[in-house]
Amino acid sequence: MATIPNAVPYLSVPKDAATTWAERIDSAPGLKVGLVWAGTAVGAIDLPSLRSMFEVADASWFSLQVGDRSADLSLLDGVKIADLAPWLADFAETAAAVSRLDVVISVDTSVAHLAGALGRPMWLLLPHRSEWRWLLERSDSPWYPTARLFRQRDPGEWDEVACQVAAALEQMACSRRIRSATTVV
């Protein structure tokens, strides 16, 4: 464990892309939360099963999902999630978007690893049997100090994970409100 390289960030965002993404994201109210629910090599989460996360007050949601699964957004009646897919042409653009978000919530995808490499807060949604690199029964990652791992207790059960993430988002939003109130004074 002591020899795992974990100095982050080891990637940076191109300045021209950063400016464009600041204009797209920074004006959103509350926490700015990015989401990826499906990868190409791993199983996807049924997006409606994450509904409790979207009920968190003081959060603006941004979809970082690309490909066919970005159409899943239509399954969420009454949930407002900004679809960033049309502008995510490459990893430089994705990195710039991630750099403007308060947290990225993702299944095990390249976007999760990109957020970790950028040193951005990243919450990973892991199935009951996850890939070896996430080890067992840990809520942190030796590779990415800014990662927090949320694991299924039972195979296929995402509702409990979504409730845990929602509680963590509520806590993050509360901490942000407290910091804002103390800096205004």
Q: Give the global pTM.
A: 0.90
Higher pLDDT, 11 or 83: 83
Domain residue spans in the chain? 15-184
Give residue 21's pLDDT.
94
Predicted local distance difference test score (pLDDT) of residue 51: 93
Average pLDDT rounded to a whole number, residues 30-58: 89
Topology, domain 15-184: Rossmann fold (3.40.50)
State the Rg of the chain over Cα. 16
pLDDT in tens, 111-138: 999 999 999 999 999 886 776 566 677 7
